C-alpha cells in the first residue's frame, strides 16, 4: 500500500501570483482576477468539449509546499483545524483542487477566473463539474 505514485502534468498555470502570501486562500476570494492554463499540446483533443462559461475542477500540485503539520490555522490565521478540514498547501500529498470558470479558450490556452494558484503550478487533471 506504500507504493510510489508518479504524475505527469497535463499543463501549467500562468498566474499573476508569484508569492503565496499575496495569493487568495480560495477561489471564493479570487474575485475577477484572471489566469491561464497552458495545456500541453499532446492533450489538445482532451479539450475538445470544453466551453467558455462552464465551470471545471482543476487538480494541481502544490509545487512549492514543504512538509506538513496535522493541525493548521484555518486559512492561515483562523482557528486551528485538522489538516484534512482545510485547503492548506502543505500536505502529505501536496495536491490542490480549485473550481474555475472558463472565460475563453484559444488553442491550448484556457483563460479562467477562480485563480488561487501560483504562477508555474503544474496541472494534474481537469474535470467537469457534474
Asked if the structure places residue 3 within a domain, the reply is no
Asked if the structure places residue 66 within a domain, the reply is yes
- Domain with 96, as residue range(s), is 11-128
Asked if the structure places residue 4 within a domain, the reply is no
Asked if the structure places residue 108 within a domain, the reply is yes
Maximum Cα interatomic distance, the chain, rounded to a whole number of Å: 44
Closest alpha carbon to 107 in 57, 35, 9, 40: 40
In tens digits, what is the pLDDT along the chain, a chain of 130 residues?
A: 788 899 999 999 999 999 877 766 666 766 788 999 999 999 999 999 999 999 999 999 999 888 888 998 887 778 899 989 888 888 899 999 999 999 999 999 999 998 989 999 999 999 999 7
The pTM assigned to this predicted structure is 0.88
Asked if the structure places residue 29 within a domain, the reply is yes
Look at the block and give the residue holding cell 500536505: 91
Q: Parallel, antiparallel, or unpaired for β 95-106 and 55-61?
A: antiparallel
The CATH number covering residue 26 comes to 2.40.30.70
So what's the pLDDT on residue 37? 98
Q: Which residues contact 83 (CB under 8 A, 6 or more apart)?
A: 68, 69, 70, 71, 72, 91
Asked if the structure places residue 5 within a domain, the reply is no
- The tally of domains found in the chain comes to 1
Asked if the structure places residue 18 within a domain, the reply is yes
CA distance 63 to 60: 9
Amino acid at each position: 500500500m506504500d507504493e510510489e505514485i508518479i504524475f505527469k502534468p497535463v499543463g501549467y498555470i500562468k498566474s499573476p501570483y508569484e508569492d503565496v502570501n499575496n495569493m487568495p486562500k480560495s477561489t471564493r476570494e479570487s474575485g475577477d482576477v484572471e489566469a491561464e492554463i497552458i495545456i500541453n499540446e499532446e492533450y489538445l483533443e482532451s479539450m475538445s468539449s470544453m466551453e467558455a462559461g462552464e465551470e471545471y475542477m482543476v487538480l494541481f500540485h502544490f509545487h512549492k509546499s514543504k512538509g506538513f503539520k496535522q493541525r493548521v490555522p484555518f486559512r492561515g490565521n483562523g482557528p486551528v483545524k485538522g489538516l484534512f478540514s482545510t485547503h492548506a498547501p502543505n500536505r502529505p500529498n501536496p495536491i490542490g483542487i480549485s473550481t474555475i470558470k472558463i472565460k475563453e479558450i484559444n488553442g491550448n490556452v484556457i483563460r479562467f477566473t477562480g485563480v488561487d494558484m501560483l504562477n508555474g503550478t503544474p496541472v494534474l487533471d481537469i474535470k467537469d463539474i457534474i
